[in-house]
Amino acid sequence: MYAAGKSSPQKSASIKFLAKVRDAKVMAFSSVEVLQEILHRYHAIKRLTEGFMVFESFLALPIKFFDVTLEDVKFAKDFLEDSLSALSSRDSLHLAVMRRKKIKKIVTYDQGFLGVPHLTVLLPHQV
């Protein structure tokens, strides 16, 4: 959403990172939850038509999309219950999918992931 959003310090690096994904210079994974987040955000700001374009653009990238399972949701709930982490419920769900798929790196500006053990957090310009 930084790449598609208003001018910000994160925009340029996000665009460059997604170009690397598009050009298959970086192998990327995501979950279908990210697609839902795009719809949720653009619906909330009443810019759904633009949100549909962002959704389709993200979906068109050569990204392997993982489903979210009931076990992922249960893990996210348990993580929130047992943790003093700064992760949101949605980010806990991303973490659950990553855990199930044994993914140990994330590219994000979300500072909440910094405190998660055994997870490497990279900013887009670091990739």
| Confidence at residue 100, expressed as pLDDT on a 0 to 100 scale | 97
Q: Which of 39, 117, 14, 32 is nearest to 73 (CA)?
A: 32
Taking residue 18's Cβ as centre, other Cβ atoms within 10 Å add up to 21
| Confidence at residue 1, expressed as pLDDT on a 0 to 100 scale | 80
Report CA-CA distances (Å) from 39 to 12, 49, 108: 22, 10, 19
| Confidence at residue 86, expressed as pLDDT on a 0 to 100 scale | 78
d(CA 49, CA 37): 15
- Spans of all domains in the chain: 11-126
| Confidence at residue 82, expressed as pLDDT on a 0 to 100 scale | 87
CA 54 to chain centre: 14
Average confidence score pLDDT of the chain: 94
| Confidence at residue 5, expressed as pLDDT on a 0 to 100 scale | 82
- Sites in the chain below the pLDDT cut of 50: none
| Confidence at residue 4, expressed as pLDDT on a 0 to 100 scale | 86
CATH topology of domain 11-126: Rossmann fold (3.40.50)
Residue 94 and residue 22 in contact, taking contact as beta carbons nearer than 8 Å: no
DSSP sequence for 40-69: HHHHHTT-HHHHHHHHHHHHHSSEEEEPP-
